[in-house]
Amino acid sequence: MAWSIADVARMSGVTSRTLRHYDAIGLLPPARIGSNGHRYYEQADLLRLQQILLMRELDLGLREIREVLDNQVDQVAVLREHRRRLLGERDRLETLARTVGRTIAELQEGKVDNNMVQINRPENLFEGFDPAPVEAEARERWPEQWEQSQRVVETMTADDQDRWQREVTAQMIRLAEFMVAGTPVADPAVQAEMDVHYRSVCRFWTPCADAYKGLGRTYVDDPRFRSNYDRIADGLAAYQCEAMAVYADVRLS
């Protein structure tokens, strides 16, 4: 039995445009193309699409997915591995739920200082967050810079990473305080924070002006980044993006 591209889109929730893109890059070619030019998919193609979607859920890039699918031998073994990773993701989401619940409790019960609730341990805001999705995307978009950053990360001890995470969290909170106070993004104090941020990024890779602006837009456009920022203060991702753009124009152009 064969299904049209419209049928597959309806069953899977994947748009026809995406399916055509998967065909164009050799990830999911249809079983055949009819005389009318329509694509038709068979059961083996649906199983392959299921694996693609599973690996997308696990935040693998399309190039990496194709390599896995083209080299796999035992389909059941591959599915077992997917299941293992999905169960791990379930556990991570449960941790995230506890993290958010703890944050809600602290915001409701914590003391207020300068119109902002004080978080007892700000590093706990990020327990359970997984950087892997962002890393996979960065690996696809900026392979050289990603390799450079990985070499730096490999030299960091667990204490180094914990200290770096505390520094990042502390800066996000300082920036949120500027935002809540209505401080313009071009203000010298805000730009001083952007200088700290830029130097922190440069520990891993050195972005030019356009790349630094692009990183700022990622904080807004990518829901994973945006939710991390806006969990501290609503609108913080956009505020930092604007501040980074000013820094790039003034200091990096």
The structure's pTM equals 0.47
pLDDT per residue over 12-40, tens digit each?
888 888 899 999 989 999 999 988 888 99
pLDDT, tens digit, 9 for 90 and up, residues 157-209: 767 776 777 788 788 888 888 998 899 999 999 999 999 999 988 888 888 89
Q: Is the pLDDT of residue 117 over 80?
A: no
114 - beta bridge partners? Answer: none
**Domains assigned to the chain:** 3-71 (1.10.1660.10), 77-252 (1.10.490.50)
In 10 A of CB 163, how many CB atoms?
A: 12
- Give the burial string for 170-182 (b: 16+ CB within 10 Å, else e): ebbbebbebbbee
What Rg, from alpha-carbon coordinates, does the chain have?
Answer: 22
